[in-house]
């Protein structure tokens, strides 16, 4: 902005002098002001897209590994024994020539060995290309142009899927097969997955519904929301807020500052465990359920709405049995409140 003010001032002073040289300087200054405003305005940048398609016959027990940096991903099941890949390279550039150059340097590399498919995006360096004077002044072009790749992939039933990326949105639905996701910051939506789910998501959001199989999730921050899960749940976090509705299976949840809200039928022979440091814990279980309950909180409040036969009790903990006894339910927080309700 300071450069624009100086250019405007030059234009004003030059215009006040009635000579050809002054008028020429004023005209050039005005042109520079207009060009700078145009180039720095995001409305003048354009989005370009370049399609990529591939059909890969895999046979039964297919395996797919997808590795990319950023972009949106949609995975759904397909008929037959093949993987269908549809990708779109999305480039933001000043013009078509620059967009094509950037897109050509985003390499989609596929390795296919019988039932195993590996897909990776490689960002090739643009060698022997330097920004011109005007590109440097106006802030367009140059060697730092970048693009994203969006994916729509259809996989056969029983396909084992591995996704590795940095960021973006993932929508994976109606998959019969194990799922492994490793990402730095993604918004993950899972729907109707039958198989083992393993997710490492540093930050972002993870949502899942109708998950049939064990779920292991490591996510430091953000939100975690899992609904209608039939399988054991393991979650480790630092500050993520966790909401779980579990129809069958046990759980082992650990977080530091995030709040944990769980509704479960206690339909498992394995133990149930939740631990937080300052986060609140709310557990809802059926009125007719049975088990052994242990609640600990150093400075938080402890509350239970279910009838308990007390074995031991203090202002920091409760040990007791509800119903006919059975599985162990252990809820522990240092400074958070712990509540047990019934539905």
Which residues are registered as beta bridge partners of 57?
82
The answer on 237 and 323 residing in a single domain is: yes
What's the CA gap between 178 and 64, in Å, rounded? 11
At residue 132, the pLDDT reads 46
Q: Same structural domain for residues 223 and 240? A: yes
**Domain co-membership, 106 together with 30:** no
Tell me: do 300 and 239 sit in the same domain.
yes
**Per-residue confidence (pLDDT) for residue 125, from 0 to 100:** 77
Whether 184 is covered by a domain: the verdict is no
Residue 272 belongs to domain spanning: 196-343
320 and 201 within one domain: yes
- Does residue 27 or residue 33 have the better pLDDT? 27
Give the model's pLDDT for residue 18: 54
Same domain, 165 and 216: no
Averaged pLDDT for residues 117-127: 86
pLDDT at 41 over 80: no
Tell me, yes or no, whether 38 and 60 share the same domain.
Answer: no
| pLDDT over threshold 70, residue 56 | yes
Q: Is the pLDDT of residue 321 over 70?
A: yes
Going by pLDDT thresholds of 50, 70 and 90, the confidence category of residue 39 is very low
Question: Do residues 4 and 36 touch, judged by C-beta distance below 8 A?
Answer: yes
Average pLDDT over residues 133-160: 70
Give dist(CA 318, CA 297) in Å, integer: 9
Residue with token string 């000579």: 19
Look at residue 46 in the predicted model and tell me its pLDDT: 87
Q: Tell me the average pLDDT of the chain.
A: 87
Q: What is the pLDDT of residue 174?
A: 96
Contacts of 15 (CB under 8 A, 6+ apart): 22, 23, 26
How confident is the model at residue 79, as a pLDDT?
A: 83
Whether 274 shows a pLDDT value over 90: the answer reads yes
Say what the pLDDT of residue 124 is: 84
Residues 111-124, mean pLDDT to the nearest whole number = 94
The first and second tokens of residue 257, run together, are: 């500052």
Q: Do 166 and 281 fall into the same domain?
A: no
Write down the pLDDT at residue 234.
98
Closest listed residue to residue 227, CA positions, set 198, 263, 176: 263
> What number is the average pLDDT over the span 107-118?
96
CA distance 65 to 80: 19
Q: Are residues 235 and 293 in the same domain?
A: yes
The per-residue pLDDT for 273 is: 98
Tokens of 253: 């949840």
pLDDT band of residue 144 (cuts 50, 70, 90) is very low
Q: Where are the alpha helices (DSSP H) in the chain?
A: 2-15, 20-40, 96-104, 133-138
For 75-108, the pLDDT digits (tens) are: 999 888 999 999 999 998 888 998 999 899 999 9
24-28, 159-163, 210-214, 256-260: the lowest-pLDDT one: 24-28
Residue 55 lies in a domain: yes
Mean pLDDT score, 245-261: 97
Average pLDDT, integer, range 206-212: 98
Side-chain half-sphere exposure of 201, counting CA atoms within 13 A: 30
Nearest to 327, CA basis, from 246, 235, 258: 246
Sign of the four-CA dihedral 324, 328, 329, 335: positive
Mean per-residue pLDDT for 225-242?
A: 97
pLDDT at 130: 45
> Would you give the distance in Å from CA 69 to the centre of its chain?
12
Task: Classify residue 314: in a domain, yes or no.
Answer: yes
Please give the pLDDT value at position 3.
44
Domain membership flag for residue 185: no
Phi, psi angles (nearest 5°) of residue 150:
-100, 145
pLDDT digits (tens, 9 = 90+) for 147-191: 899 999 999 999 999 999 999 999 999 999 999 999 999 999 999
């Amino acid at each position: 902005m300071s450069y624009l003010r100086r250019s405007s001032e030059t234009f004003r002073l030059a215009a006040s002098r009635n000579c050809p040289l002054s008028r020429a300087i004023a005209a050039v200054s005005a042109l520079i002001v207009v060009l700078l405003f145009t180039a720095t305005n995001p409305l003048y940048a354009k989005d370009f897209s370049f399609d990529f398609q591939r059909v890969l016959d895999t046979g039964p027990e297919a395996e797919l590994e997808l590795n990319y940096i950023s972009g949106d991903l949609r995975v759904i099941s397909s008929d037959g024994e093949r993987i269908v890949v549809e990708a779109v390279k999305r480039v933001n550039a000043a013009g078509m020539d620059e967009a094509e150059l950037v897109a050509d340097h985003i390499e989609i590399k596929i390795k296919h060995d019988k039932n195993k498919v590996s897909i990776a995006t490689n960002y090739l360096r643009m060698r022997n290309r330097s920004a011109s004077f005007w590109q440097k002044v106006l802030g367009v072009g140059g060697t730092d142009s970048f693009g994203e790749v969006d994916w729509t992939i259809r996989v056969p039933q029983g396909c084992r899927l591995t996704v590795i990326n940095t960021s973006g949105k993932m929508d994976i639905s109606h998959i019969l097969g194990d799922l492994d996701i490793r990402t730095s910051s993604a918004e993950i939506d899972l729907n109707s997955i039958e198989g083992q789910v393993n997710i490492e998501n540093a930050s972002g959001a993870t949502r899942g519904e109708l998950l049939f199989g064990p779920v292991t999730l490591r996510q430091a921050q953000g939100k975690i929301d899992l609904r209608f899960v039939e399988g054991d749940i393991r979650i480790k976090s630092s500050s993520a807020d966790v909401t779980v509705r579990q129809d069958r299976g046990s759980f082992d949840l650990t977080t530091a500052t995030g709040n944990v809200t769980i509704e479960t039928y206690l339909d498992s022979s394995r133990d149930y465990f939740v631990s937080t440091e300052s986060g609140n814990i709310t557990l809802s279980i059926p009125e007719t359920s049975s088990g052994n309950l242990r609640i600990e909180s150093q400075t938080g409040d402890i509350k239970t709405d279910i009838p308990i036969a007390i074995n031991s009790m203090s202002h920091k903990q409760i040990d007791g049995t509800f119903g006919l006894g059975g599985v162990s339910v252990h809820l522990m927080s240092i400074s958070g409140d712990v509540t047990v309700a019934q539905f």
